[in-house]
Amino acid sequence: MADETAPSPSTPPRAPAALTAAPGYQVRRLYQAYLAVWIRAVDPTLTGPQFAVLQAVDSAPGHDQRSMASAVALDTSTMADVARRLEKRGLIVRRTAADDGRRKLLYLTEEGERTLHDANSRARRLDERLLEPFGAERREEIVHLLTSLADHWEGLTEDA
Protein backbone atom coordinates (compact mmCIF):
# COMPACT_ATOMS: atom_id res chain seq x y z
CA MET A 1 0.00 0.00 0.00
CA ALA A 2 1.37 3.42 -0.95
CA ASP A 3 2.04 6.03 1.68
CA GLU A 4 -1.01 8.26 1.72
CA THR A 5 0.84 11.19 3.26
CA ALA A 6 0.88 13.91 0.67
CA PRO A 7 4.27 15.54 0.14
CA SER A 8 4.53 19.18 1.09
CA PRO A 9 4.12 21.30 -2.06
CA SER A 10 6.69 23.78 -0.70
CA THR A 11 9.43 21.16 -0.48
CA PRO A 12 10.67 19.98 -3.87
CA PRO A 13 11.61 16.32 -4.12
CA ARG A 14 15.28 15.42 -3.85
CA ALA A 15 17.10 13.87 -6.77
CA PRO A 16 17.44 10.11 -6.29
CA ALA A 17 20.83 8.82 -5.15
CA ALA A 18 21.24 6.85 -8.39
CA LEU A 19 21.00 10.14 -10.26
CA THR A 20 23.26 12.20 -7.99
CA ALA A 21 25.95 9.50 -8.21
CA ALA A 22 26.04 9.83 -12.02
CA PRO A 23 28.86 12.07 -13.31
CA GLY A 24 26.79 13.20 -16.28
CA TYR A 25 24.07 14.49 -13.96
CA GLN A 26 26.60 16.51 -11.96
CA VAL A 27 28.15 17.89 -15.16
CA ARG A 28 24.69 18.96 -16.35
CA ARG A 29 24.04 20.67 -13.01
CA LEU A 30 27.36 22.49 -13.29
CA TYR A 31 26.61 23.58 -16.85
CA GLN A 32 23.09 24.81 -16.00
CA ALA A 33 24.45 26.86 -13.10
CA TYR A 34 27.29 28.15 -15.28
CA LEU A 35 24.88 29.32 -17.98
CA ALA A 36 22.75 31.14 -15.43
CA VAL A 37 25.69 32.95 -13.84
CA TRP A 38 27.34 33.67 -17.25
CA ILE A 39 24.28 35.65 -18.35
CA ARG A 40 24.40 37.81 -15.22
CA ALA A 41 28.16 38.14 -14.77
CA VAL A 42 29.59 38.19 -18.29
CA ASP A 43 27.10 39.04 -21.03
CA PRO A 44 23.36 38.50 -21.46
CA THR A 45 23.58 38.28 -25.27
CA LEU A 46 27.02 36.82 -25.99
CA THR A 47 26.80 33.06 -25.47
CA GLY A 48 29.62 30.87 -24.22
CA PRO A 49 30.11 29.29 -27.67
CA GLN A 50 30.16 32.74 -29.30
CA PHE A 51 32.72 33.91 -26.75
CA ALA A 52 34.84 30.81 -27.43
CA VAL A 53 34.74 31.49 -31.18
CA LEU A 54 35.78 35.11 -30.64
CA GLN A 55 38.67 33.88 -28.47
CA ALA A 56 39.76 31.37 -31.12
CA VAL A 57 39.52 33.87 -33.98
CA ASP A 58 41.49 36.40 -31.95
CA SER A 59 44.28 33.89 -31.34
CA ALA A 60 44.31 32.50 -34.91
CA PRO A 61 42.81 35.04 -37.35
CA GLY A 62 42.25 33.87 -40.91
CA HIS A 63 41.68 30.21 -40.09
CA ASP A 64 38.65 28.51 -41.56
CA GLN A 65 35.39 27.72 -39.78
CA ARG A 66 36.04 23.96 -39.73
CA SER A 67 39.36 24.26 -37.90
CA MET A 68 37.88 26.87 -35.55
CA ALA A 69 34.99 24.50 -34.79
CA SER A 70 37.46 21.84 -33.76
CA ALA A 71 39.42 24.31 -31.63
CA VAL A 72 36.34 25.29 -29.61
CA ALA A 73 34.63 21.87 -29.44
CA LEU A 74 31.69 22.70 -31.73
CA ASP A 75 30.33 20.57 -34.52
CA THR A 76 30.59 22.15 -37.96
CA SER A 77 26.88 22.95 -38.34
CA THR A 78 26.76 24.67 -34.94
CA MET A 79 29.95 26.54 -35.82
CA ALA A 80 28.39 27.77 -39.07
CA ASP A 81 25.37 29.06 -37.14
CA VAL A 82 27.53 30.74 -34.46
CA ALA A 83 29.75 32.37 -37.11
CA ARG A 84 26.69 33.61 -39.00
CA ARG A 85 25.27 35.17 -35.82
CA LEU A 86 28.58 36.81 -34.93
CA GLU A 87 28.88 38.17 -38.45
CA LYS A 88 25.33 39.53 -38.29
CA ARG A 89 26.24 41.34 -35.06
CA GLY A 90 29.32 42.84 -36.74
CA LEU A 91 31.78 41.01 -34.48
CA ILE A 92 33.51 38.94 -37.16
CA VAL A 93 33.85 38.93 -40.92
CA ARG A 94 33.85 35.74 -42.96
CA ARG A 95 35.89 35.84 -46.14
CA THR A 96 35.91 33.17 -48.81
CA ALA A 97 39.28 31.44 -49.17
CA ALA A 98 40.95 32.24 -52.50
CA ASP A 99 41.90 28.60 -53.10
CA ASP A 100 38.53 27.07 -52.12
CA GLY A 101 35.23 28.92 -52.40
CA ARG A 102 33.62 26.62 -49.83
CA ARG A 103 36.01 27.60 -47.01
CA LYS A 104 35.15 30.63 -44.90
CA LEU A 105 38.05 32.37 -43.18
CA LEU A 106 37.26 34.21 -39.95
CA TYR A 107 38.52 37.58 -38.72
CA LEU A 108 37.51 39.82 -35.81
CA THR A 109 36.17 43.27 -36.53
CA GLU A 110 37.10 46.25 -34.35
CA GLU A 111 33.75 45.82 -32.61
CA GLY A 112 34.53 42.13 -32.14
CA GLU A 113 37.87 43.00 -30.55
CA ARG A 114 36.16 45.45 -28.15
CA THR A 115 33.41 42.98 -27.30
CA LEU A 116 35.93 40.20 -26.67
CA HIS A 117 38.14 42.43 -24.52
CA ASP A 118 35.20 43.54 -22.37
CA ALA A 119 33.70 40.06 -22.06
CA ASN A 120 37.08 38.48 -21.40
CA SER A 121 37.76 40.57 -18.32
CA ARG A 122 34.30 39.72 -16.93
CA ALA A 123 34.78 36.02 -17.82
CA ARG A 124 38.11 35.90 -15.97
CA ARG A 125 36.45 37.44 -12.90
CA LEU A 126 33.72 34.79 -13.20
CA ASP A 127 36.39 32.07 -13.37
CA GLU A 128 37.76 33.37 -10.08
CA ARG A 129 34.30 33.33 -8.50
CA LEU A 130 33.56 29.82 -9.76
CA LEU A 131 36.70 28.40 -8.17
CA GLU A 132 36.62 30.69 -5.13
CA PRO A 133 36.17 27.88 -2.58
CA PHE A 134 39.57 26.45 -3.55
CA GLY A 135 43.12 27.74 -3.11
CA ALA A 136 45.35 28.45 -6.11
CA GLU A 137 46.94 24.99 -6.09
CA ARG A 138 43.57 23.22 -5.89
CA ARG A 139 42.18 25.45 -8.68
CA GLU A 140 44.94 24.31 -11.01
CA GLU A 141 44.31 20.70 -10.01
CA ILE A 142 40.55 21.03 -10.58
CA VAL A 143 41.01 22.56 -14.03
CA HIS A 144 43.46 19.77 -14.86
CA LEU A 145 40.95 17.13 -13.70
CA LEU A 146 38.13 18.75 -15.70
CA THR A 147 40.35 18.88 -18.79
CA SER A 148 41.32 15.22 -18.38
CA LEU A 149 37.68 14.23 -17.95
CA ALA A 150 36.63 16.24 -21.02
CA ASP A 151 39.42 14.67 -23.09
CA HIS A 152 38.37 11.21 -21.95
CA TRP A 153 34.68 11.79 -22.66
CA GLU A 154 35.47 13.24 -26.10
CA GLY A 155 37.52 10.11 -26.79
CA LEU A 156 34.51 7.98 -25.91
CA THR A 157 32.50 9.71 -28.65
CA GLU A 158 35.11 8.64 -31.21
CA ASP A 159 34.88 5.00 -30.04
CA ALA A 160 31.08 4.90 -30.30
Encode pLDDT of 106-149 as tens digits. 999 999 999 999 999 999 999 999 999 999 889 999 999 999 99
Confidence band for 160, pLDDT divided at 50, 70 and 90: low
Strands 100-108 and 92-97: antiparallel
Cβ neighbours for 97, distance < 8 A, ≥ 6 positions apart: 64, 103, 104, 105
Specify the pLDDT at position 159.
Answer: 73
Whether residue 1 is predicted with pLDDT greater than 60 in this model: the reply is no
Confidence band for 2, pLDDT divided at 50, 70 and 90: low
Whether residue 60 is predicted with pLDDT greater than 70 in this model: the reply is yes
Specify the pLDDT at position 10.
Answer: 82
Give me the chain's average pLDDT, please. 92
Residue 65's alpha-carbon distances to 25, 81, 92, 101, 149, in angstroms, are: 31, 10, 12, 13, 26
Lowest pLDDT segment from 21-25, 32-36, 100-104:
100-104
Q: Which amino acid, residue 43?
A: D
Cα–Cα nearest to 154, from 9, 3, 20, 27? 27
Confidence band for 8, pLDDT divided at 50, 70 and 90: low
Average the pLDDT over 58-70 and give the result: 95
